[in-house]
Amino acid sequence: MNVINPATGEQLDSYDEQTWSDVDSALERASEAFEEWRKQSIRERERLLETAGRVLRNNKNEYAEIITLEMGKPITQARAEVEKCAWVCDHYAEYGSTYLEDRHHPSPPGTTVKTVHQPLGPVLAVMPWNFPFWQVFRFAAPYLTAGNVGVLKHASNVPGCAIAIEDIFREAGYPEGVFQSLLVSSDLVADIIADDRIRAATLTGSGPAGRAVAAAAGEKIKKTVLELGGSDPFVVLDDADIESAAETGTQARNQNGGQSCIAAKRFVVHTEIYDKFIEALIDSFESLVVGDPTDENTDVGPQARVDLLTELHEQVEASIEAGATLVTGGEPLDREGAFYPPTILTDVPDGCPVDSEETFGPVAAVYEVADEREAITLANNTEFGLGASVWTADRERGEHVAKQIDAGCVYINQLVKSDPRVPFGGVGESGYGRELSEIGIKEFVNRKTVWIE
């Protein structure tokens, strides 16, 4: 696995890809570790997780640098990602035992009936490169605390992140085999899922990858959670605060170079404020600093790989050819590295790539709608259903609109984000299951009914 710095095109490092023999040994360690880990008290598991949070904070700059060099995230955003990982550790260290308390039920006199929450076993996690620490800790913090053990198959362009995360759990004092990283190709994923030692699987990634994991797990009747792509609408109604919506919309579209499933991708704007909003959005987009991700002043770094930039630009070009109007950006920067500028397209035709496909980069498609009803219809005109953002001065109106948008989460006067305290996940082509909060920690447990006569 060759690691290429997307900001320079230079090779940073090279890692040996592991074989099936290595996988077999890792799965055996995971299986053996689970038998002891499941017996560990949840208070002890919480203590270790709290320690993992301290390790993250103590070495924040080191981990942020790995993220930035491997996938190009601006260094300030990389530090924020590490901090967020520490936060999810703090959250489950504090609330894990509360979330997993026995639940008592009505029963006949003299009996006790309750639901207990017991771990399933080794869980395979297939994780993406765009948030290479956060996506992993989002699954590991709750699932390990519930008593499962984790086996990570990370994206092939961030092997340094995968190894660093395994080291974090080791340094925090987790027993050998409770969390392991595998440096393997995607070709082995189906075989790993089919192995009897793996009891469940979770994936964050593309639709095709999600289908493959779901199919492999379904053959063996194993539980899965999938967080897939998104084409999130950012709905701006006629009574919205235009400047605030444009400023937050700029962040929601361009954070992490636009490489986020929950990035605002389709801006749906009421005709009464359309012109003013477009003007504010253009100003905000063009104010962003695109450049060296190790520079503290950089807002937008490179795309994570050259092939991703090429695919994004093809989507933009095809959309312009179909009739979309390019307002700003739209051409790869003439410099070393995979840099693409913040881009805005208006007059977007139905069915063109930026309308119907997920754009994984700093490209905003902007639509003009006549009223609230048309805004809702357009927001729902997608196969995806991950998140949505609604902007209005009337909170009750915002909630009314939110209830009519088909998505796993809707934020009113705020960008879409994941938060340890609330459930996160999508519907439709954006996947199923939920991560985070109490719901998330219970995805991979056996909710066992115990009746005591």
Cα–Cα–Cα angle for 61, 133, 53, rounded to 5 degrees: 65
The rounded radius of gyration (Å) of the Cα atoms in the chain is 23
* Residue showing tokens 């550790």: 89
Q: Other CB atoms closer than 10 Å to residue 421's CB: what's the count?
A: 11
pLDDT for position 62? 98
For the chain, domain boundaries? 2-228+428-452, 232-412
Residue 261 annotated as catalytic? yes
Name the residue type at position 425.
Answer: G
Q: How far apart are CA 215 and CA 327, in angstroms?
A: 42
How far CA 249 is from CA of 26, 280, 367, 375, 420, in Å, comes to 43, 10, 14, 16, 22
In sequence order, what E strands does 111-176 have?
A: 112-119, 122-126, 149-153
By the 8 A CB rule, do 423 and 440 touch?
yes
pLDDT for position 5? 98
pLDDT for position 209? 97
Strand 179-182, strand 200-204: pairing:
unpaired
- Cα torsion 243, 248, 254, 256 to 10°: value is 150
| 351 Ramachandran zone, left/alpha/beta (phi>0; psi -120 to 50) | left
Residue 89 annotated as catalytic? no
In sequence order, what E strands does 307-397 have?
A: 325-328, 343-346, 363-369, 387-391
pLDDT for position 296? 98
Name the residue type at position 265.
Answer: K
Run of H or E including 181 = strand 179-182
Q: How far apart are CA 190 and CA 167, in angstroms?
A: 26
Q: How far apart are CA 205 and CA 431, in angstroms?
A: 10
Closest CA to 258 of 230, 280, 279, 222: 230
Q: How far apart are CA 5 and CA 426, in angstroms?
A: 32
Per-residue pLDDT of the chain (453 residues; tens, 9 = 90+): 999 999 999 999 999 999 999 999 999 999 999 999 999 999 999 999 999 999 999 999 999 999 999 999 999 999 999 999 999 999 999 999 999 999 999 999 999 999 999 999 999 999 999 999 999 999 999 999 999 999 999 999 999 999 999 999 999 999 999 999 999 999 999 999 999 999 999 999 999 999 999 999 999 999 999 999 999 999 999 999 999 999 999 999 999 999 999 999 999 999 999 999 999 999 999 999 999 999 999 999 999 999 999 999 999 999 999 999 999 999 999 999 999 999 999 999 999 999 999 999 999 999 999 999 999 999 999 999 999 999 999 999 999 999 999 999 999 999 999 999 999 999 999 999 999 999 999 999 999 999 999
Give how far the C-alpha of residue 212 lies from the chain's centroid of Cα atoms, to the nearest Å.
Answer: 18
CATH architecture of 2-228+428-452: 3-Layer(aba) Sandwich (3.40)
- Which residues, 6+ apart, have CB-to-CB distance to 252 below 8 Å? 234, 263, 264, 389, 415, 416
Q: Which two three-digit tokens encode residue 34?
A: 């689970």
Do 2-228+428-452 and 232-412 agree at the fold level?
Answer: no
pLDDT for position 247? 98
Closest CA to 27 of 166, 194, 165: 194
pLDDT for position 338? 98
Q: Other CB atoms closer than 10 Å to residue 38's CB: what's the count?
A: 16
pLDDT for position 228? 98
Q: Other CB atoms closer than 10 Å to residue 7's CB: what's the count?
A: 24
Q: Which residues pair with 153 in a beta bridge?
A: 126, 182
CATH of 232-412, one of 3.40.50.1100, 2.40.50.100, 3.40.309.10, 3.90.1720.10: 3.40.309.10
Candidate list 261, 357, 358, 435, residue with the active-site label:
261
Candidate list 227, 358, 368, 372, residue with the active-site label:
227
Rounded to two decimals, the pTM is 0.98
DSSP 390: E
How far CA 134 is from CA of 76, 80, 110, 300, in Å, comes to 15, 10, 47, 19
Closest CA to 392 of 218, 270, 220: 270
